[in-house]
Chain A
Amino acid sequence: MSELMRLEAVSRRFGGLQAVQDVSLSIGRGEVLGLIGPNGAGKTTLVNVITGVHRASAGRVLFEGRDITRYRPYQTARNGLARTFQVVQPFPELSVLENVAAAALFSGGIGGMREANRVAAEKLEFVGLSLAAGKPAASLTLAMRKRLELAKALAMRPKLLFLDEVNAGLNSAEVEIAMGLIRQIAQAGVTIVLIEHLMKVVMSVCSRIVVLQNGALIADGTASEVVSNRRVIEAYLGKKYAQAASGEA
């Protein structure tokens, strides 16, 4: 598997807070990587550093061998890094179709509005929002907004897609649908980094999982390796539980 992205000792400080520290990571082409960790572990900050929202305080971000550490968000977007937001970010006055067409127009390598609309319709059909295409984005339910985020990200023709808690706040039927979509996207050859709290989703979709705690990587491996890792159990459930669990084993 060839390498798509490499992080070299990436750090980000906010004043006295070390939000991301010394994270080194390699992401292969076609991988579905789960990025997990307790609340406040720095998962979203790490994605923000990679996509250029925050600049790394130290370290390098390489994408397809190119140094993109100092790229601004619109540049990373145009180079094939797409993301969905944990807190959904639609353009409220635009229609659902226009929302997706905007993404296709500005990052999908598309010249004209007509072509952008065609791509947008295609992506809306994929996520199952075709019927809502003409509605203003502000009128959608949360589950639909999450799918709109996904359609927007896909319209950018991403090489690497960050999905930041696309399942948070969804009911179990909606989660099933979303999982199906993620699998299909992965099969189409898009590399995915999945930030997720629902372990059911992570375990069934991801080929590899990395765990962040207090801004540092504490584990990297397959699903079964990670869930039996002592440091991971400590991070989630506390030292005492980890001791008890290993005592029993």
Chain B
Amino acid sequence: MNRRRDVVLFAAILLLGALPLVGEPYTLRLGTFACMYAVMSVSWNVIGGLAGYPSFATAAFFGLGAYVGGVLLTKGATLVVAMAFAGGIAFGGAMLLGAVLLRLRGHYFAIASLAVAEVLRELTNTATDLTGGGMGLNIPLGTSTVASVAGEASFFFLAMWGLLLLTLVVVVAVERSRLGFGLACIRQNESAADMIGVNATLYKSLAFALSGVFVAMAGTLYAGWVHYIEPPDVYDILFSVKPIVMALLGGLGSTAGAVIGAFAFLGIEEIVWRNYLQVHTGVLGFLIVALLLFLPNGIVSVGRRIKALRARHV
């Protein structure tokens, strides 16, 4: 049923890769953010949507990736190596942490995962020698292969776009695998899943780790892109909240929905920000509440709702 929609969406994302051919710096910047947000919401959907554990750890993974990658970049590592390291550390750390945190359910897990970013932020602040602490971290120019400003904008857009493609391929493969099936069982009834032989602790930890690995890589790209990071910037709680809003906006549990939700969210955010400079967060919050109230199953459910309405009026 959703096969056609998924194909259309995938084609649209592929087409987005042509943006540097037509885009000016502003559209490229917006495109980079769109891909970054989509990486975050698609990743969050693995733990929040598939496994049903509302994680607020996205900011922790993002900040961790930004700092691990950023420090490596300042030490002269290539971008690919820095990203691989950041992703690996996020994956391993999330596996270990998940085995502990994922014993908690519902609100308790949400609060515990919220604390992870705070702990990492404090650690980053304290490790001044390595991270520059509160002074922030300068990442040298020249992490991209091109020298010009416009060239660099295209480079980081394409890198973020490539990361989104990678995330999508992995997440869709996971969804269709034994792991994805097991996660669906865990979300619907964890004790019953245990009883039919699903290793819930392992599966949940894997889901948590998968929700972190690509976000951490995005963090590294972000650090290389903006050249300067500081703890309040990359461990921003909003990086934890926004992916959840995006996934809800698009349609909880649906990968396609997570992408659509991310793009829609960025669009709304940008329009609101431009028109209501003083009160934009307030207006944005109001809009989100209204959307969730009137479209609880997200944008992906619009087609279904129109069909249902038509059926009622015929």
CB-contact partner of A91 in B185, B197, B199, under 8 A = B185
A91 and B184 form a contact (CB under 8 A): yes
Given A105-B178, A105-B181, A106-B182: A93 touches B188 (CB 8 Å cut-off): yes
Residues of A within 8 A of B189 (CB): 89-92
CB pair A72 B184 closer than 8 Å: no
Q: Does B252 contact A (CB under 8 A)?
A: no
Cross-chain contact A91 with B188 (CB below 8 angstroms): yes
| Contact (Cβ within 8 A) A156 B197 | yes
With A91-B185, A94-B184 given, is the CB distance from A102 to B196 under 8 Å? yes
CB of A241 closer than 8 Å to a CB of B: no
**Contact indicator per residue, chain A 73-99, by CB within 8 Å of chain B (1) or not (0):** 110011000010100011111100000
Is B194 an interface residue, CB under 8 A from the partner? yes
Task: Judge whether B146 is part of the interface by a CB distance below 8 angstroms.
Answer: no
8 A Cβ contacts from B171-212 to A: 178, 181-182, 184-185, 188-189, 191-200
A107 within 8 A of B: yes
Contacts of A94 in B (CB 8 A): 184-185, 188
- Interface of chain B, main secondary structure: helix
Given A105-B181, A106-B182, A156 and B196 contact (CB-CB distance below 8 Å): yes
Question: Which of B181, B182, B195 touches A77 (beta carbons < 8 Å)?
Answer: B195
When the two chains form their complex, are residues B184 and A89 in contact, meaning their CB atoms are under 8 A apart? no
A85–B193 Cα distance when bound, in Å, is 12
The one of B178, B181, B188, B199 that contacts A74, using a Cβ cutoff of 8 Å: B199
Closest B residue, CB atoms, query A89: B192
Which residues of the other chain, A, contact B182 by a CB distance below 8 angstroms? 102, 106
Q: If A102-B185, A105-B181 touch, does A53 touch B197 (CB 8 Å cutoff)? A: no
How many chain A residues touch the partner (CB < 8 A)?
Answer: 23
Q: Which of B178, B191, B200 has the most CB of A within 10 A?
A: B178
Contact B192 A72 (CB under 8 A): no
Which residues of the partner chain B approach A106 to less than 8 Å between Cβ atoms? 178, 182, 185, 196-198
B291-310 vs A, CB cutoff 8 Å, 1 = contact: the mask equals 00000000000000000000
For residue B188, which residues in chain A have a CB less than 8 angstroms away from its CB?
91-94
B 192-241 contacts with A by CB, 8 A: 192-200
Q: Are B178 and A91 in contact (CB under 8 A)?
A: no
A-chain residues with CB within 8 Å of residue B178 when the two chains form the complex? 105-106
Check A74 against B185 for contact (C-beta < 8 Å): no
Q: Is the CB of A74 within 8 A of B200?
A: yes
Q: Which residues of A contact B196 (CB under 8 A)?
A: 77, 102-103, 106-107, 152, 156
Instruction: Produce 1/0 per residue, A178-194, CB < 8 A to B.
Output: 00000000000000000
Residue of A nearest to B198 (CB): A106
By a CB distance below 8 angstroms, the chain A residues around B199 are 74
Q: How near does chain B come to A79, taking the closest CB pair, in angstroms?
A: 9
* Complex interface residues of chain A between 42 and 92 (CB less than 8 A to chain B): 51, 53, 72-74, 77-78, 83, 85, 89-92
A156 surroundings in chain B (CB, below 8 A): 196-197
Q: Which residues in B have some Cβ–Cβ distance to A below 8 Å? A: 178, 181-182, 184-185, 188-189, 191-200
Could you pull out 5 A-B pairs where Cβ atoms are within 8 angstroms? A53-B191, A53-B195, A85-B192, A102-B185, A106-B182
